[in-house]
Amino acid sequence: MKLDLVSTIEGSLLEGFFPAGWNLARIDEIASRPPERLLEREPHWHQDFFPEPCATVADLEVGMGIEIAYQVIQARQAGKELALILPVGPMGMYRWMVQILKRWKASCDHVHGFNMDEWSDAQGNTLPPENPAAFQNAMEEAFYRPLGPLTVPPAQRHFATREKLPGYPERLAALRQRGATLVVVYGIGRALHIAFWEPHFAAEFAEEAGWRAQNFRMGARLHPLTIEQNAITSFKSRTTLVPAFANTIGPGLFLQADRAIGGCDGTLGRGMQWQGLSLWLALHHPPDRWLPATFMPTLPGRLFFVKELAGPLVPECN
């Protein structure tokens, strides 16, 4: 008798838990592949998309920091504005990015920063910016303040608040019209979200075109896997502190990137991790609106990941 999730889900508390469009058998087949297959190219990958294996989380942070700083310096040398859509997670790359920009004395007055998401209530009201859990606070402390006089001008820092997020599409369109480059920096969620664009939103759209056209969402309802992921990574296991809603950009913005820089650093030590399945699906599942991260390899760019996430993803007791 085979005992696994696919064969035992009916009648369990997990029935109805996973997004309706998830094919669990197909998901499990992809996750069961040996680590050496992770870098096999897929037909839907952009010719300038490359996964970048990193030995450690520290290596990943350095690699991402260099890649983002390079985009800033390259745009400045070309005399172009740069729109950066930025995550709060992963975070370690900002320290290296700041060091490189300061070492090169590279002013960021040509940069426009857009936080991709922010915790909210169901109406889109966000935490005060000084709250330690607020993404605005995290970005100010990790990126903008440490740059000192080289920093992005305050008027060019945009945060996903109820007041500011609806203006993102118009601001970004105006920047693109002036010739700006759009770079999206991202992590991949446990449930395959990009920003907080969750997989269950796919149920609202009969066709992919309608899904792709969505620029943002206020008070987005988060999947339980997302809430528990953040309880582990950001809230010291206190699930009760994690908001159940967030403001977020949508595929209408993040899929317009001229370049995308991703990071998967979800190792926990002692052989434990949370992001291996997400990484495998993002790379090897065909693009599917029920799995938003599967669209990222269709964009030019790099996805940095910690080698441990490649697996093998087999059970073991820790």
DSSP string, 151-182: SPPGGGEE---TTTGGGHHHHHHHHHHTT-EE
Share of the chain above pLDDT 90, in %: 94
Q: Closest by alpha carbon to 176, among 254, 87, 82?
A: 82
How would you class 16 by CB atoms within 10 Å of its CB: exposed for 0-12, middle for 13-18, buried for 19 or more? Answer: exposed
Tell me how far apart the alpha carbons of residues 186 and 301 are, in angstroms, rounded to a whole number: 11
Tell me how far apart the alpha carbons of residues 195 and 293 are, in angstroms, rounded to a whole number: 10
Residue 318 has a pLDDT of 80
Give the three-state DSSP class for 115.
strand
Could you tell me if residue 8 is inside a domain? no
Instruction: Look up the domain containing 217 and give its range.
Output: 46-310
pLDDT digits (tens, 9 = 90+) for 204-253: 999 999 999 999 999 999 999 999 999 999 999 999 999 999 999 999 99
Kindly report the CATH number assigned to the domain that includes residue 110.
3.40.50.1360
Could you tell me if residue 258 is inside a domain? yes
Could you tell me if residue 215 is inside a domain? yes
Q: What is the reported pTM?
A: 0.97
Q: Closest by alpha carbon to 233, among 176, 183, 274, 283?
A: 274
Domains in the chain: how many in total?
1
Which uninterrupted H or E stretch holds 254? Answer: helix 251-254
Could you tell me if residue 12 is inside a domain? no
Cα dist from 93 to 50, 137, 142, 224, whole Å:
18, 16, 9, 27
Could you tell me if residue 1 is inside a domain? no
Could you tell me if residue 29 is inside a domain? no
CB count within 10 Å of CB 43 equals 5
Could you tell me if residue 303 is inside a domain? yes
Could you tell me if residue 199 is inside a domain? yes
Residue 114 has a pLDDT of 98
